[in-house]
């Protein structure tokens, strides 16, 4: 499959359609998620009150659920919005931030998976290992060093098994990013280590996936597009601003997403089918 050229077309489609991406996300990264969504050409809306969560979902072309800063109110809103999305056929993306770190997060993800059919799940290695029932060592909301050191082969197996279990696309972001729908698996080797030094880059990546899946029904391809664009933006941002520090790097990542085009994707993409 010629992923690079297809992804180049999806970037253009997002800009042309300006789809509405509803986020129920965390307050640590909400501004960055909104800005990265705008940068790729989509239109973000962040509505987490139960009184409007389902109604806003009915106006959107995709829904992103991020459990980074949970509370009882947002959990109910996530359930209401997710059920509405399933009812009207809107794709739903789950970012299970920090699952495995607390009983609240674990029970919330379990309930979300019981009551919502997710289209895409994106997490780090520790989060996906926990969800797949493997031994995982969380480090707060970050992947542990031991899980980060897991081989790409382990990630391919985990992503594929979880994708089969939940009949969705599963993505693991890390040194090698892995995207699987249980039948096909894509590995991506773009990115820069400095992405790990800035809070919210995983959340922003999920927002990009939400933006792409709102216009692309091939969800393996849409997920690959979001992760690939984030990786390429990280590489270019490091080249331009990495020496200035993490604040400048963060801003540069958003800048590069706003500038990314099909030519840069085709030129810089490092991906292969596993």
CA 94/CA 85 separation, integer angstroms: 13
pTM: 0.94
pLDDT number for residue 140: 53
Each domain of the chain, given as residue ranges in start order, spans 3-273
CA 230/CA 192 separation, integer angstroms: 10
Does 3-273 carry CATH code 3.40.1190.20?
Answer: yes
∠ CA 117-120-125, rounded to 5°: 120
| pLDDT tens digits in sequence order for the chain, 274 residues long | 588 999 999 999 999 999 999 999 999 999 999 999 999 999 999 999 999 999 999 999 999 999 999 999 999 999 999 999 999 999 999 999 999 999 999 999 999 999 999 999 999 999 999 999 876 556 555 444 544 545 688 899 999 999 999 999 999 999 999 999 999 999 999 999 999 999 999 999 999 999 999 999 999 999 999 999 999 999 999 999 999 999 999 999 999 999 999 999 999 999 999 8
pLDDT number for residue 152: 81
CA 173/CA 240 separation, integer angstroms: 23
pLDDT number for residue 135: 62
pLDDT number for residue 133: 86
pLDDT number for residue 15: 94
Q: Based on C-alpha coordinates, what's the Rg of the chain?
A: 17
pLDDT number for residue 272: 94
pLDDT number for residue 144: 43
pLDDT number for residue 259: 97
DSSP per position, the chain = --HHHHHHHHHHHHHHH--EEEEE--TTTHHHHHHHHHHHT-EEEE---TTTHHHHHTT-SEEEEE-TT--HHHHHHHHHHHHHHHHHT--EEEE-TTTTS-HHHHHHHHHHHHH---SEEEE-HHHHHHHTTS---EETTEEPHHHHTS-HHHHHHHHHHHHHHHTSEEEE-SSSEEEE-SS-EEEE----GGGGGSTTHHHHHHHHHHHHHTT-S-HHHHHHHHHHHHHHHHHHHHHHHGGG-HHHHHHHHHHHHHH--HHHHHHH--EEE-
pLDDT number for residue 241: 96
């Amino acid at each position: 499959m010629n992923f690079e050229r297809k992804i180049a077309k999806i970037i253009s489609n997002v800009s042309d359609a300006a789809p509405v991406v509803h986020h129920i996300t965390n307050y640590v990264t909400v501004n960055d998620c909104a800005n990265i969504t705008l940068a790729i050409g989509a239109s973000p809306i962040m509505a987490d009150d139960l009184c409007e969560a389902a109604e806003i979902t009915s106006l959107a072309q995709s829904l992103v659920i991020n459990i980074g800063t949970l509370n009882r109110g947002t959990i109910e809103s996530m359930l209401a919005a997710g059920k509405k999305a399933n009812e009207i056929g809107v794709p739903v993306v789950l970012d299970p931030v920090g699952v495995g770190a607390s009983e609240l997060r674990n029970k919330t993800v379990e309930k979300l998976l019981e009551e919502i059919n997710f289209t895409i799940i994106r997490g780090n290695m520790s989060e996906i290992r926990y969800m797949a029932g493997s031994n995982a060592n969380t480090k707060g909301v970050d992947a542990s060093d031991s899980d980060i050191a897991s081989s790409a082969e382990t990630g391919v197996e985990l992503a594929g098994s979880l994708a089969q279990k939940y009949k969705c696309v599963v993505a693991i972001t890390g040194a090698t990013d892995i995207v699987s729908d249980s039948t096909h698996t894509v590995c991506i080797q773009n990115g820069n280590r400095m992405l790990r030094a800035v809070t919210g880059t995983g959340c922003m990546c999920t927002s990009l996936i939400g933006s792409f899946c709102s216009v692309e029904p091939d969800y393996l391809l849409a997920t690959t597009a979001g992760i690939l664009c984030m990786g390429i933006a990280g590489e270019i941002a490091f080249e331009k601003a990495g020496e200035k520090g993490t604040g400048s790097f963060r801003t540069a990542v958003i800048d590069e997403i706003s500038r990314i085009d099909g030519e840069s994707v085709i030129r810089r993409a490092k991906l292969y089918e596993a």
